[in-house]
């Protein structure tokens, strides 16, 4: 799955010559926490965050009047505060790569650029959660089967063939390495029309089924 499948294409932006007062009001009216700063052809020049607005706004303990505080913010430009070294991703990047970047850099959103390096969207941690739900098939009611298997070539094909032979639809497959030799395999499948015979078949083939649970969809 690619970034373009989950990003928000209509992005709220601001230019670097706008004031921090304008940036603050834009964030208040939109509830966005990060706004890309772009030039007149939509190239990303920087990014401004709610943290930047907070740092440049007088604190509640300030003796400045509201008028004076707003005047100071109106004199301060976005270019003076924005982060210029912006991490961006391409619209054809894999969604898992974006998840890693967000996790590694402890940020919650990334501007998305196209092949011309022009802004074409933004992707957030909420979009990553939505992608995870889609990939895992969590919205669908199913049976979740957890199997401990020896980590070797052909295991997934072997177990998948059992489902195929019984005409059972597999919704998702996830693997997690336990140690150097074993892997936990979690299969979500629709058994509503088939019963539990597939479980016995898996066990008879020598695989260790460690958990079986019915999962109700969350749509």
d(CA 212, CA 210): 7
Phi, psi dihedral angles at 31 (to 5 degrees): 70, 15
The predicted structure's pLDDT at residue 135: 82
Total-model pTM: 0.74
CB-CB contact of 138 with 219 (8 Å): no
Phi, psi dihedral angles at 105 (to 5 degrees): -95, 0
For the chain, give every domain's residue range.
Answer: 3-133, 140-215
Percent helix, strand and coil across the chain, each to the nearest 5:
35, 30, 35
For 30, 34, 83, 110, 116, the CA distances from 46, given in Å and listed in that order, are 19, 11, 5, 11, 17
The predicted structure's pLDDT at residue 64: 54
**CATH class held by domain 140-215:** alpha beta
pLDDT in tens, 64-88: 556 666 677 778 899 999 999 999 9
The predicted structure's pLDDT at residue 62: 54
Phi-psi domain of 88 (left: phi exceeds 0; alpha: psi -120 through 50; beta: other): beta
User: Which residues of the chain register pLDDT less than 70?
Assistant: 57-70, 217-219
pLDDT in tens, 193-216: 888 899 999 999 999 999 999 887
Q: Which CATH number fits domain 3-133: 2.40.170.20, 3.40.50.12240, 3.10.580.10, 3.30.565.10?
A: 3.10.580.10
The predicted structure's pLDDT at residue 61: 44
């Amino acid at each position: 799955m690619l970034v373009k499948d989950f990003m928000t294409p209509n992005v709220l932006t601001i230019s670097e010559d706008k004031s921090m007062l304008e940036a603050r009001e834009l964030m208040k009216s939109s509830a966005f926490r990060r706004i890309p700063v772009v030039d007149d052809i939509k190239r990303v020049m920087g990014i401004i965050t709610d943290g930047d607005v907070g740092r440049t706004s007088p604190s509640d303990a300030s003796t400045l009047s509201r008028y004076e505080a707003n005047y100071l913010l109106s004199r301060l430009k976005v270019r003076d505060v924005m982060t210029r070294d912006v991490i961006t991703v391409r619209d054809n990047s894999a969604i898992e790569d974006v998840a890693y970047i967000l996790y590694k850099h402890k940020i919650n959103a990334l501007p998305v650029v196209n092949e011309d390096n022009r802004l074409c969207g933004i992707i957030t941690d909420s979009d990553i959660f939505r992608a995870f739900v889609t990939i895992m098939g969590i919205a669908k009611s199913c049976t979740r089967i957890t199997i401990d298997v020896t980590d070797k070539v052909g295991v997934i094909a072997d177990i998948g063939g059992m489902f195929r032979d019984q005409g059972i639809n597999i919704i998702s497959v996830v693997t997690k390495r336990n140690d150097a030799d074993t892997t936990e395999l979690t299969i979500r499948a629709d058994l509503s029309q088939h019963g539990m015979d597939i479980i016995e078949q898996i066990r008879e083939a020598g695989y260790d089924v460690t958990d079986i649970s019915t999962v109700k969809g969350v749509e």
